[in-house]
């Protein structure tokens, strides 16, 4: 299956090869979880982050880590930010 | 001697007189300071049905007990008056260096009453308080006004150290979205407080102080500050997110979540969002970071535009500004956006309301409701030049700006399409579409000064997960969340701290109590400061009800309640306000019409 990964700010360092401007298309085995994706790109699982999958923000932790990704998903990961 | 509650200056502009008064300690204890105490003083002295632009309306500048003390981000003051935009109580907050300087001069606030015949400026230098003619400053933009005032001060060091708050042409011309600008780039922005200053013919307040600020319990205060500093240093947003990226870093995530207002809230995603993001600002126009008084967060951004068409330099744009002047106007070019931001500061207009008004004008134009010859420009979405031109016209009240300068409610009404006004209580909605973040819808609908994001910034939990992560699309439990955010905000706004300290995980009533207690010497408990927060919120509500507002005003534009978003995560969603509002009224102790019960008011000591 193929997903789109988007990484922002300092997380761009984890962009897999072939990615550009913080974005990469990734081919992953079906059933890959969010946690497995983090392992694949080398991002520490406990790292503080904001997770947005298909436009919905998720609470970080066990529930998000266990989300099974599907073909065509968009996964965006941001460092902790706020403002307004 | 303890500097709180201390003194304030009462200026009668009709008579041209100034006198110094003591602040009542009982009121200070019950209403903290800043927004709370200012609102209490205002309600005690002014008829809620006053015409906001008449001499009978008053204008209060008030610091909080923490302003200027050196507590983290203790930079803020509040401007309280009746709003000419919304007809509600207005309290607009600003930081920079002016608020602390006022306290260094020995005063915690100023009450302006009446109306001067000729333009004047108030000059304060410690014990010297004087109203001086300001005819030569009238008509001048804010940055030039500051420079002209400094030129009048002989000693160059003194000139440099003097702090100034003033209005621009927009305030003089009674624009209902005019702000009060201090330190050139900081603004008490919302609800048209600048027009009230303009109506009083008060151009500027000039302050220099040399006194110290004494806290009541120095050791206790120091301990509380140290604890809070540690929290700030360990908080990822206040130690890294805001200092490194500023507020505009939100553009990408808010777009990713499908709640980035685009083309006057017609959509929630903008395909060119990355062009106007915080990253793009850092890469293309940033010159340096900047902070307000005693603030380690230093979230402000100094920028420079080289493009000759839009050349200039200054502060900003912040998230709300870049989003609303950008995506909400369909514009993907930072140059005109930043130029329009500079113009708002120079001409003295609220960037949020001004930007939304341009977005409304663009929709009215595209739908053919503003005739081409009346527009005088191509107001199509995406036209950066039109953004700059209309903002300029609004600042000077000329061309289409004659109508647009009173905000998008008046503009949409004027052209017969009030449904295109995206606001609440006649004030424009900031840069989060509540269809994809339900709690924000309730925040907007119930804010006591009309649509506002900083009266209960539930984005922190619903999207960013700062304290705990909530599901943005559910309504369950949001009434309680909104109430807590509103109350804590009322407390922070009254204290003199910047609201951004609350973006630190675990920063709540306890931390605020410790700081306020140390500074004031009032022996508050956490329960008591919570009661103060509720008292402030309810007093504002009571004022608004007496001013004629009703439950019908606690609502959102039809578009946000009935037209679903069409893209991204919240596709198909509207804001389900009706699922939250009754519960919210109940939690507040209000009846089904949103009227605070006698019992509630008695308990809070308001009735
Ligand atoms: S966080 Fe930003 S706005 Fe708030 S006081 Fe600090 S620099 Fe000013």
pLDDT of residue B412: 98
Q: How far apart are CA A70 and CA A68, in angstroms?
A: 7
Q: How far is B19 from chain A (nearest CA, A)?
A: 38
Q: What is the DSSP letter of B293?
A: T
CB-CB: which of B240, B454, B469 is closest to A84? B454
Task: Answer yes or no: is the C-beta of B232 below 6 A from any ligand 1 atom.
Answer: no
pLDDT of residue B3: 94
Q: 3-state DSSP call for residue B534? A: helix
Domains present along chain B, CATH in parentheses: 7-208 (3.60.9.10), 246-428 (1.10.569.10), 434-604 (1.10.599.10)
Q: How far apart are CA B289 and CA B308, in angstroms?
A: 24
Residue B218: CB atoms within 10 A of its CB come to 12
Check if the beta carbon of residue B130 is closer than 8 Å to that of residue B11.
no
User: Which chain B residue lies closest to A9 (C-alpha atoms)?
Assistant: B279
CB-CB: which of B459, B569, B571 is closest to A84? B459
**Interchain proximity B250–A79, CB inside 8 Å:** no
Task: Answer yes or no: is the C-beta of B73 below 6 A from any ligand 1 atom.
Answer: yes
Check if the beta carbon of residue B345 is closer than 8 Å to that of residue B187.
yes
User: Which chain B residue lies closest to A8 (C-alpha atoms)?
Assistant: B252
Kindly give the parts of chain B with pLDDT less than 50. Answer: none
Q: How far apart are CA B42 and CA B58, in angstroms?
A: 7
| Best mutation target, B189, B240, B245, B256, to test chain A (most A CBs within 10 A) | B256
pLDDT of residue B244: 86
Question: Is it true that the peptide bond before B147 is cis, omega within 30 degrees of 0?
Answer: no
Q: How many helices (H) and strands (E) does chain A have?
A: 2, 5
pLDDT band at A84 (very low <50, low <70, confident <90, very high): confident
Q: How far apart are CA B198 and CA B177, in angstroms?
A: 12
Centroid of ligand 1 to alpha carbon of B209 (angstroms): 22
CB-CB: which of B240, B247, B256 is closest to A84? B247
Contacts of A76 (CB under 8 A, 6+ apart): A5, A6, A7, A8, A51, A52, A53, B253, B256
**Interchain proximity B465–A57, CB inside 8 Å:** yes
CATH match of A2-78 with 3.40.50.720: no
Q: How far apart are CA B593 and CA B178, in angstroms?
A: 32
Contacts of B321 (CB under 8 A, 6+ apart): B337, B341, B344, B351, B352, B355
Contacts of A30 (CB under 8 A, 6+ apart): A1, A71
Task: Answer yes or no: is the C-beta of B292 below 6 A from any ligand 1 atom.
Answer: yes
Backbone φ and ψ of B330, nearest 5°: 70, 20
User: Which chain A residue lies closest to B319 (C-alpha atoms)?
Assistant: A84
pLDDT in tens, B238-285: 888 888 888 999 999 999 999 999 999 999 999 999 999 999 999 999
Task: Answer yes or no: is the C-beta of B501 below 6 A from any ligand 1 atom.
Answer: no
**Interchain proximity B460–A48, CB inside 8 Å:** no
CB-CB: which of A21, A52, A84 is closest to B256? A52
Q: B-contacting residues of A 51-70, CB under 8 Å? A: 52, 54-60
Residue B403: CB atoms within 10 A of its CB come to 20
Locate all alpha helices (DSSP H) within B247-333, ordered by sequence. 250-256, 278-284, 319-325
**Interchain proximity B250–A58, CB inside 8 Å:** no
What does pTM read for this prediction?
0.97
pLDDT of residue B240: 86
What is the atom index within ligand 1 of the atom nearest the CA of B247? 2
């Amino acid at each position: 299956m193929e997903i789109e990964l988007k990484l922002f700010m300092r997380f761009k360092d984890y962009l897999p090869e072939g990615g550009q401007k913080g974005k990469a298309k990734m081919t992953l085995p079906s059933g890959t979880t969010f946690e497995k994706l983090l392992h694949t790109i080398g991002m520490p699982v406990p790292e503080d982050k904001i997770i947005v999958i298909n436009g919905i923000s998720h609470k970080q932790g066990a529930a998000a880590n266990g989300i099974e990704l599907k073909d065509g998903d968009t996964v965006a990961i941001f460092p902790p930010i706020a403002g307004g | 001697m303890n500097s709180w509650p201390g003194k304030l200056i009462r200026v009668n502009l009709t008579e041209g007189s100034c006198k110094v008064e003591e602040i009542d300690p009982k009121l200070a204890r019950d209403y903290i300071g800043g927004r709370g105490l200012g609102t209490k003083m205002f309600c005690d002295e002014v008829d809620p049905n006053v015409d906001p632009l008449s001499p009978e309306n008053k204008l209060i500048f008030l610091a909080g007990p923490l302003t200027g003390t050196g507590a983290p981000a203790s930079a803020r003051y509040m401007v309280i008056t009746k709003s000419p935009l919304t007809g509600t109580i207005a309290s607009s907050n600003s930081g920079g260096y002016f608020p602390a300087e006022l306290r260094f001069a020995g005063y915690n606030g100023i009450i302006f009453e009446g109306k001067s015949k000729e333009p004047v400026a108030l000059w304060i230098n410690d014990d010297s308080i004087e109203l001086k003619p300001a005819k030569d400053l009238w008509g001048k933009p804010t940055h030039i006004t500051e420079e002209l005032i400094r030129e009048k001060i002989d000693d160059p060091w003194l000139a440099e150290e003097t702090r100034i708050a003033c209005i621009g042409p927009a305030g003089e011309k009674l624009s209902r979205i005019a702000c009060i600008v201090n330190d050139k780039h900081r603004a008490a922005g919302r609800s048209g407080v600048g027009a009230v200053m303009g109506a009083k013919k008060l151009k500027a307040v000039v302050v220099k102080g040399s006194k110290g600020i004494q806290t009541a319990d120095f050791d206790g205060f120091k301990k509380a500050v140290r604890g809070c500093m540690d929290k700030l240093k360990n908080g990822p947003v206040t130690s890294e997110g805001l200092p490194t990226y500023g507020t505009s870093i939100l553009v990408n995530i808010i777009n990713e979540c499908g709640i980035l207002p685009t083309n006057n809230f017609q959509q929630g995603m903008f395909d060119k969002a990355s062009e106007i993001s915080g990253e793009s600002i850092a890469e293309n126009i940033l010159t340096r970071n900047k902070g307000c008084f005693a603030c380690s967060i230093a979230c402000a951004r100094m920028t420079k535009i080289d493009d000759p068409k839009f050349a200039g330099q200054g502060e900003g744009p912040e998230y709300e500004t870049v989003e609303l002047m950008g995506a909400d106007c369909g514009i993907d070019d930072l140059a005109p956006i930043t130029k329009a931001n500079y113009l708002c500061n120079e001409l003295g207009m609220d960037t949020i309301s001004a930007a939304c008004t341009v977005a409304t004008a663009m929709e009215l134009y595209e739908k053919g409701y503003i005739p081409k010859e009346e527009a005088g420009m191509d107001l199509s979405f995406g036209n950066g030049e039109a953004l700059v031109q209309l903002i300029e016209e609004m600042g000077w009240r000329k061309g289409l700006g004659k109508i647009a300068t009173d905000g998008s409610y008046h503009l949409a009404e004027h052209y017969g399409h009030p449904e295109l006004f995206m606001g609440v209580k006649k004030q424009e909605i900031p840069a989060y579409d509540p269809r994809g973040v339900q709690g924000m819808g309730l925040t907007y609908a119930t804010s006591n000064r009309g649509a506002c994001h900083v009266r209960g910034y539930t984005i922190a939990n619903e999207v960013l997960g700062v304290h705990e992560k909530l599901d943005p699309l559910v309504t369950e439990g949001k009434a309680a969340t909104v109430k807590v955010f509103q109350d804590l905000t009322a407390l922070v706004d009254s204290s003199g701290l910047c609201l951004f300290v609350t973006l630190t995980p675990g920063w709540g009533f306890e931390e605020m109590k410790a700081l306020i207690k140390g500074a004031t010497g009032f022996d508050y408990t956490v329960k008591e400061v919570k009661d103060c927060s509720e008292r402030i919120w309810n007093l504002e509500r009571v004022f608004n009800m007496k001013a004629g507002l009703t439950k019908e005003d606690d609502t959102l534009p039809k578009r946000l309640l009935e037209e679903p978003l069409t893209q991204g995560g919240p596709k198909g969603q509207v804001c389900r306000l009706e699922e939250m509002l009754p519960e919210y009224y109940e939690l507040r102790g209000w009846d089904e019409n949103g009227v605070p019960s006698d019992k509630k008011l008695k308990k809070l000591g308001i009735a």
